[in-house]
C-alpha cells in the first residue's frame, strides 16, 4: 500500500493483513487487492484507457515485487460503454435493432409485440474467452458523497477531503437511462508480461463491436 501511494499516487482507503483498498479519486480508479486477486476499476475514463493501463501495469509490477506470486491463474479485462438516452422506453426500444430476428419470430408465435431484447454471446479462442452483452440499463439510484475536513484539520486531511470530492465531481447526476455495450475478455494461464497484449485485444474487440452495432 505504501509503495502504491508513493509511486502511483493512490490514496489509502482500507488496510487488511491480507491486502488493501485504495483509490485515485481524480481519475475514478479503485483497486482492491488481497492474497488471491487484484481488482482494478475505473469509472468514466477520460483518456481512452491510457492512465488506467499505466496504473494496471504499475500495480502488476508492485504485486510481483511484494507478493511474489508463483503464477497467474487468470487475467480479466472488461469495458462498459454507455450511450445516454432521455427515457427508459427509448433505451428499451433501441435494443430491437441489434442481434437477430428471433424476437420478431417469437412475437408471431406468442401473438404479442416485442418490447425489448438483449444480446448475450460467448466466444473462445485458445486460452481466451470473450463475453459480449448489449442491453438497456437504468440507474435507479446513484449515490454521490461529499467530504469536508473537520475543525482545525491538518493540511493532509484537507487535501484528502478535496481529493475525495473529485470523485463526485466526475459524474453527471442527470444521467438515468442508456444502452450499454459490455466487452469482457479473460485469459487463462497467461504467460508473463502478457498484460499489454491483453489490453490491445480488449481495445481491438471493443472498437470492432462499436462499429458492428453502429454505436458512436
Output the pLDDT for position 194. Answer: 83
- The mean-pLDDT minimum among 77-86, 142-151, 180-189 falls in 142-151
Q: Which pLDDT band, with edges at 50, 70 and 90, does 215 fall under?
A: low
Q: Which span out of 56-60, 66-70, 192-196 was modeled with the highest average pLDDT?
A: 56-60
Q: Are 161 and 149 in contact (CB under 8 A)?
A: yes
90 within a domain of the structure (yes/no):
yes
210 within a domain of the structure (yes/no):
yes
Q: Are 185 and 98 in contact (CB under 8 A)?
A: no
196 within a domain of the structure (yes/no):
yes
The angle subtended at Cα 72 by Cα 71 and Cα 74, nearest 5°, is 160
134 within a domain of the structure (yes/no):
yes
- β-pair partners for 24: 29
102 within a domain of the structure (yes/no):
yes
Q: Regarding beta strands 19-24 and 29-33, do their DSSP bridges make them parallel or antiparallel, or are they unpaired?
A: antiparallel
Q: Are 215 and 181 in contact (CB under 8 A)?
A: yes
Return the residue matching grid coordinates 454471446: 121
Output the pLDDT for position 172. Answer: 74
pLDDT digits (tens, 9 = 90+) for 157-194: 998 899 888 888 887 777 789 999 999 999 999 887 78
200 within a domain of the structure (yes/no):
yes
Task: Give the structural domain span for 189.
Answer: 75-139+175-216
Output the pLDDT for position 99. Answer: 64
Output the pLDDT for position 70. Answer: 79
pLDDT digits (tens, 9 = 90+) for 131-144: 999 999 998 877 77
179 within a domain of the structure (yes/no):
yes
Output the pLDDT for position 196. Answer: 87
Number of domains making up the chain = 1
133 within a domain of the structure (yes/no):
yes
Output the pLDDT for position 30. Answer: 92
Amino acid at each position: 500500500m505504501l509503495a502504491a501511494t508513493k509511486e502511483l499516487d493512490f490514496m489509502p482507503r482500507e488496510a487488511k493483513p491480507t491486502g488493501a483498498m485504495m483509490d485515485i479519486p481524480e481519475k475514478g480508479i479503485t483497486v482492491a487487492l488481497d492474497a488471491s486477486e487484484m481488482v482494478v476499476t475505473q469509472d468514466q475514463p477520460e483518456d481512452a484507457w491510457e492512465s488506467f493501463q499505466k496504473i494496471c501495469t504499475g500495480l502488476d509490477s508492485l504485486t510481483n515485487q511484494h507478493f511474489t506470486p508463483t503464477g497467474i491463474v487468470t487475467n480479466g479485462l472488461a469495458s462498459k460503454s454507455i450511450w445516454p438516452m432521455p427515457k427508459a422506453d427509448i433505451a428499451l426500444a433501441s435494443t430491437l435493432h441489434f442481434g437477430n430476428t428471433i424476437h420478431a419470430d417469437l412475437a408471431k408465435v406468442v401473438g404479442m409485440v416485442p418490447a425489448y431484447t438483449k444480446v448475450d454471446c460467448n466466444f473462445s479462442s485458445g486460452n481466451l474467452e470473450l463475453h459480449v452483452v448489449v442491453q438497456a440499463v437504468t440507474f435507479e439510484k446513484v449515490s454521490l458523497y461529499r467530504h469536508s475536513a473537520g475543525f482545525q484539520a491538518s493540511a493532509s486531511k484537507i487535501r484528502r477531503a478535496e481529493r475525495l470530492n473529485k470523485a463526485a465531481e466526475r459524474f453527471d447526476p442527470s444521467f438515468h437511462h442508456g444502452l450499454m455495450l459490455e466487452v469482457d475478455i479473460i485469459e487463462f494461464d497467461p504467460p508473463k508480461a502478457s498484460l499489454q497484449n491483453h489490453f490491445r485485444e480488449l481495445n481491438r474487440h471493443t472498437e470492432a463491436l462499436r462499429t458492428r452495432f453502429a454505436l458512436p
